Amino acid sequence: MNILLLGSGGREHALAWKIAASPLTDRLYCAPGNAGIAQEAECVALDLADHAAVIGFCKDRQIDFVVVGPEAPLCAGIVDDLEAAGIKAFGPTKFAAQIEGSKGFTKDLCRANKIPTAAYERFTAAAPAKDYIRARGAPIVVKADGLAAGKGVVVAATIEEALQAVDMMFEGGHGDAGAEVVIEEFLTGEEASFFALCDGATAIPLATAQDHKRVNDGDQGPNTGGMGAYSPAPIMTDAMNARVMHEIILPTLRAMAAMGAPYKGVLYAGLMLTAEGPKLIEYNARFGDPECQVLMLRLMSDLVPALIAARDGVLKNFDLRWYPEVALTVVMAAKGYPGTYARGTVIEGLAEAAAVEGVEIFHAGTRAERGQILANGGRVLNICALGGTVAEAQARAYAAVDRIRWADGFCRRDIGWRAVARERES
C-alpha cells in the first residue's frame, strides 16, 4: 500500500516509525513531516488546509490510505473530503470531530447520555457567564469552546481570575474558538488518558498512558501540550478500564451512532479519577502527543491493519497485542516554551543518545539544514525508552537526554515520578 500520513510532530514521527515497519506498507509519505520523520517517510510540502492539494497528491501518487495525525485537519473535514474523492482515510468526519472541536458539543453529549463529567453551562456572552461564576464560586474552570492549541483552558483559583478569563475569551484572546465559553466545576483527583480505537460501533481500548502537562518539575507552572508521558498508567487498573469503557467510551459511541455520525478513529478521553469515579474532562479526536509515542513503542501488533479495520468498520474481531515493558518519554523543548522561544538553534549528540539501550528518539519539531538538526518548534524532541520497570525506562531516557548537546533546550527531570513512587511502594 502507498500511505500518506498528515502532520509534523512527535506523534506523527512515532506513527511513521510504526507504519514504515508494517509489511503492508510499500511507500510512506508524510506531509509536511520533520527531520526525524524524513528517516521513515518521504516528506512532502503540502498545505494541510488545502484539501484539494492533498487529494491531488493522493491521486498523483496512488495513495491507498491516509492517516490523519492532528486535530485541525480533522475538524476542517479532511476525512470527509478525502473519502468523497474515493480515498480511504483514518480519522473522524468533520461532524464527529466536534467531540474535540467543540467542548460544548461534548458536554451536551455527556449530559444527554448521562456520561460522568464536570457540571457545566455554555455561554455566548460575558455577563451571564460572570453571574454563573459568582454564583458557583471558585475554584472554577473556564474553557474556550473551540480549538485553541491546548491553551483554551483556565483553571481559576479565584473568582477574579475566572472573570478575567471570561473577558479575555470574549475579547478574542483565542480568536473564534472563544466566541463561546464553557464554564465548569473544578474536579479533583488524578488525571489519566484513555485511548480507544473506534470503528463507529466497536471500541478497542489501547494501552493506558499518563502524561505530564505542566512545564516544571513537580507538576508546577503553566500548562503545555505535554512534557512527558509513560505507559502503562498504573492508576488505570483493569477494573478502572472496564468502568471507563462502560460509563464513558461505549455510551459515547452509541450516542454518536444514534446521531447518524458514527465515530471512527482514535477516541482519546482525558479523565479525572475522582472520589466518585472516573469523569470525562475532555475528548480528543486523535492520538495524544506525547502519549502516542509511548503507545507506539509498546504496540507489538502491526498498526496498519488496525487503522484500516477501524476505517472499514470491522474492528469487532480485532485484537491488539502489547509488549509488557514500560515505555516512557521525556519531551525536550526550546527554552521559553510554552511562552516565546527561539527557532533554528543547533542540536547535537542525537546518535549517541539513540545508542542508549532501549532508547528511541522521535522528533517533534526539527528541520535539517546543511547536515545539522535545528530546533523548529516549542516541543522539539521526544526521548523515549522501554524498560522492565518505570524506574528503568526513566533512567534510560535521562541517560539519553544527558548525551544530547543543545544549549537552548530544556526538559523536566521527573517524568514518571508518580509511577516510580508507586513502584517503590509495591
Please say which residue, 219 or 423, places its beta carbon nearer to ligand AMP.
Answer: 219
| Separation of alpha carbons 233 and 228, rounded Å | 13
Q: Does 186 bind ligand AMP (CB under 6 A)?
A: yes
Phi, psi of 242 (to 5 degrees): -65, -40
Between 219 and 302, CB nearer to ligand AMP: 219
Closest distance to ligand AMP from the beta carbon of 71 (Å): 11
Q: Which set of grid coordinates corresponds to residue 223?
A: 500548562
Among 40, 71, 81, 282, binds ligand AMP (CB under 6 A): 282
Q: Are 385 and 359 spatial neighbours (Cβ–Cβ below 8 Å)?
A: yes
Based on the shown chain and the rule CB under 6 A, indicate whether residue 261 belongs to the binding site for ligand AMP.
Answer: no
Distance, in Å, from the CA atom of 266 to the CA atom of 329, rounded to the nearest integer, reads 20
- For 205-243, b/e burial (b = at least 16 CB within 10 A) is bbbbbbbbbbbeeeeeeeebbbbbbbbbbbbbeeebbee
Of 41-49, 65-73, 178-186, 375-383, which segment contacts ligand AMP by CB under 6 A?
Answer: 178-186
C-alpha to C-alpha distance for 318 and 311, rounded to whole angstroms: 13
The angle formed by the CA atoms of residues 28, 308 and 77, to the nearest 5 degrees, is 80
- Give me the numbers of helices (H) and strands (E) for the chain, helices first please: 15, 24
Exposed e or buried b per residue across 362-392, where buried means at least 16 C-beta atoms within 10 angstroms of its C-beta? bbbbbbbeeeebbbbbbbbbbbbbbbeebbb
- Candidates 11, 130, 213, 298: give the one binding ligand AMP (CB under 6 A): 213
| Binding window for ligand AMP (CB under 6 A); candidates: 17-25, 174-182, 183-191, 353-361 | 183-191
**For the chain, what's the residue count?**
426
Please state, as a whole number, how many other Cβ atoms lie within 10 Å of the Cβ of residue 113.
14
Decide the pairing of beta strands 65-68 and 2-7.
Answer: parallel
Contact range with ligand AMP by CB under 6 A, out of 163-171, 179-187, 197-205, 317-325: 179-187
Q: Does 21 bind ligand AMP (CB under 6 A)?
A: no
Question: Which residue, 143 or 264, has its beta carbon nearer to ligand AMP?
Answer: 143
74, 265 Cβ separation under 8 angstroms: yes
Least spacing, CB of residue 66 vs ligand AMP, in Å? 26
Half-sphere exposure of 19 (CA within 13 A, CB side): 32
Q: Which is nearer to ligand AMP, 118 or 397 (CB)?
A: 118
What x-and-dash track marks residues 141-160 binding ligand AMP by CB under 6 A?
x-----------x-x-----
Query: Which one of 83, 191, 217, 302 is in contact with ligand AMP (CB under 6 A)?
Result: 191
> What is the footprint of ligand AMP within residues 109-138 (CB under 6 A)?
118
Residue 133 burial (10 A CB sphere; 0-12, 13-18, 19+): buried
Q: Does 187 bind ligand AMP (CB under 6 A)?
A: yes
Nearer to ligand AMP, 139 or 305 (CB): 139
100: helix, strand or coil: helix
Q: Which helix (H) or strand (E) holds 108?
A: helix 103-113
Each residue 67-106 as x (binds ligand AMP by CB under 6 A) or -, in order, gives ----------------------------------------
- 281 forms part of the interface with ligand AMP (CB under 6 A): yes
Contacts with ligand AMP by CB under 6 A: the residue count is 14
223/345 with CB nearer ligand AMP: 223
Three-state secondary-structure class, residue 261: coil
Q: Contact region for ligand AMP (CB under 6 A) — 57-65, 91-99, 181-189, 331-339?
A: 181-189
Stretch in the footprint of ligand AMP (CB under 6 A) among 182-190, 256-264, 334-342, 361-369: 182-190
- The contact set with ligand AMP (CB under 6 A) reads 118, 141, 153, 155, 184-187, 191, 213, 223, 270, 281-282
